[in-house]
């Protein structure tokens, strides 16, 4: 029973984070909103990977005069950003699955 309670607490937290101002929407309106948000997060992931690759290329080719520590700092920041965005995508996927499951059962989320 506590596992179900922990899952419902987790879902409520995801709702608070990802549906802040959209809680009053119906389930049918929440899904497209969350899918749009998920698409936006994937674009952010691609952009972050592109930036990491650009700076890695610049570093290996010696195209700029930045110190090594600057590249390490940028790599660390963008890697952390990738990690956090990836977990946001996972949370959005869980929330979409939960809303679809509840809607199929006939409950309103």
Q: Please give the pLDDT value at position 62.
A: 87
What is the rounded distance in angstroms from the CA atom of residue 104 to the CA atom of residue 89?
22
Separation of alpha carbons 47 and 15, rounded Å: 26
Residue 23 confidence (pLDDT) above 80: no
Give the start-to-end residue ranges of the domains of the chain: 2-105
| Predicted confidence (pLDDT) per residue in 35-93, tens digit | 999 999 999 999 999 999 998 898 889 888 888 898 899 899 999 999 999 999 999 99
For position 77, what pLDDT does the model report?
Answer: 94
CB 44 within 8 A of CB 92: no
Q: How far apart (Å, rounded) are the C-alpha atoms in residues 37 and 31?
A: 10
Instruction: Give the confidence band of 109 by pLDDT, cuts at 50, 70, 90.
Output: low
What would the two tokens of residue 53 be?
């690759």
Cα–Cα dist 44/82, whole Å: 8
Give the separation between CA 38 and CA 88, rounded to whole angstroms: 8
Has residue 7 got a pLDDT over 70? yes
As given in the structure block, the two tokens for residue 71 are 């590249």
């Amino acid at each position: 029973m506590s596992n179900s309670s922990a899952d419902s607490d987790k879902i409520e937290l995801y709702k608070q984070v990802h549906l802040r101002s959209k809680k009053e929407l119906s389930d049918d309106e929440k899904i497209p909103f969350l899918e749009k948000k998920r698409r936006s997060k994937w674009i952010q992931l691609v952009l972050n990977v592109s930036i990491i690759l650009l700076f890695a290329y610049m570093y290996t080719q010696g195209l700029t005069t930045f110190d090594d520590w600057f590249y390490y700092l940028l790599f660390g920041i963008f890697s952390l950003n990738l990690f956090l965005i990836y977990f946001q995508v996972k949370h959005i996927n869980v929330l979409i699955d939960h809303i679809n499951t509840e809607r199929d059962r006939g409950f309103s989320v």
